[in-house]
Amino acid sequence: IKQQVSIQMTNQKKICPNCFGNGFVKVKESINRNDDVIQCVVCNSQGEVHDKEYDEYFEKYKILKPFNA
């Protein structure tokens, strides 16, 4: 007898941990230059990421995991 296992993928979105929902991040090029503003590559400037992308971000930056509440 085969049991069919169905996995439900949650399509919930969370605020992007890289840009904090803004869609853009500031990049400091050098000490004498102004900050450059670039589009967020984690969420493609949407400000939100899917659960899987959110988890992958904190797997990549394990030091930030304690701040993930």
pLDDT over threshold 80, residue 5: no
- pLDDT tens column, 11-53: 688 888 889 999 999 988 777 778 889 999 888 899 988 887 7
pTM > 0.95: no
What is the spatial distance between Cα 26 and Cα 50, in angstroms, rounded to a whole number? 23
Q: What was the pLDDT predicted at 25?
A: 92
| Residue 25 neighbours by CB under 8 Å, 6+ apart | 18, 19, 37, 38, 40
